[in-house]
Amino acid sequence: MVEISRIVGMRDGTEEKEEEEEESNINSNNNWFASWEDGLPKPEELMPLSQTLITPDLALAFDLPSPVPAAATPHPDPDLGGGGDEGAAARTLKRPRLVWTPQLHKRFVDAVAHLGIKNAVPKTIMQLMGVDGLTRENVASHLQKYRLYLKRMQQSSSSSAALAGGHISAADHQLFASGPVPHHFLSPRGVAGPDPPFVPLVPVNPLHHHHHHHQIGQQYYYQRQIGHFGSAASSGVGGGGAFDYRFLSPPPIGMQHMGMGMGMGFPPAASSYGEQLEPGERGGGRRELTLFPTGDD
DNA sequence: GGGAGAATAT
DNA sequence: TATATTCTCC
């Protein structure tokens, strides 16, 4: 079949110490990059956990308002209908929303940090991250937000704006503030600093691995949530409609979506599983690709 | 044309 | 809100 969305599974065989030094380390991070590789898999450790998330048929079905058989589908796209070019189909079908887990974000930050602000552009970052399935758009979007975050950080740290109301929102802490932010990102002088030498990440090989991720504790699982066929009956309003969720992989940890009500950051070192959110809360019918660690990171 | 970045959409 | 998509510009 066609492999549409796949994400890499990364082993953290080398569970180095470091990792969670964060804020307290921002000022004394002489080694923030010395240990940058720690969180990253060595080339030989890079282990693609590729999975076929959705078949063309399924995609078709889910994309339609009703469970109309593909055969009867008036879909104009030849790629979808004919099972032609796999690559084309893979590009055509929409990927699930990417969830930026702390681990994924860390990779992002590390990449940005080692590229240097000025060289940190989506494509480069993406390549450096070496995460299979990650697109330039994914990175670009995240980068945009990340820059906004850095901007606010600068403001609140270099002026009295912090008192004026430019405080860091809980949302910031949720992801961005949870990881180490290279200090030079925030200080005007270090911005154009020299690029620390580092070993470029080796991109994940595109091989198909139909792993049955049983090895909890050292890999990333991906999660896929698929909405139920557009049954007009079940779909409540944006509220809590009953959806027909199916998990093709073990359920996720409940560490995202803690917005609104109690905006507390996720556990700093969410080493292991927390509780799990009841699936189906939100995301009515949306697919979501989630990378989450199963081991302590 | 392709990519970056901002704006806008979902 | 978080992430995706679109749009403009280079």
Band (A223; pLDDT cuts 50, 70, 90) = very low
Alpha-carbon dihedral sign for residues A79, A84, A85, A89 = positive
Indicate whether this model's pTM tops 0.75: no
Among A270, A51, A279, smallest CA distance to A179 is for A270
CATH topology classification for A98-157? Arc Repressor Mutant, subunit A (1.10.10)
Band (A99; pLDDT cuts 50, 70, 90) = very high
pLDDT of residue A177: 61
Residue A95 and residue A89: Cα distance in Å, rounded?
Answer: 11
pLDDT of residue A169: 57
Nucleotides of C under 7 A from a protein CB: 1-6
What Å value separates CA A272 and C1' C1? 25
Asked whether strand C has any atom less than 7 Å from the CB of A259, the reply is yes
Asked whether strand C has any atom less than 7 Å from the CB of A146, the reply is no
pLDDT of residue A108: 93
Res A114 pLDDT > 60: yes
Weakest-pLDDT range from A78-87, A106-115, A193-202: A193-202
Nearest nucleotide relative to A263: CA against C1': C1
Band (A124; pLDDT cuts 50, 70, 90) = very high
Residue A71 and residue A57: Cα distance in Å, rounded?
Answer: 10
What Å value separates CA A37 and C1' C1? 31
Instruction: Write out pLDDT tens, residues A1-28.
Output: 433 334 333 333 333 333 333 333 333 3
Nearest nucleotide relative to A142: CA against C1': C3
Res A82 pLDDT > 80: no
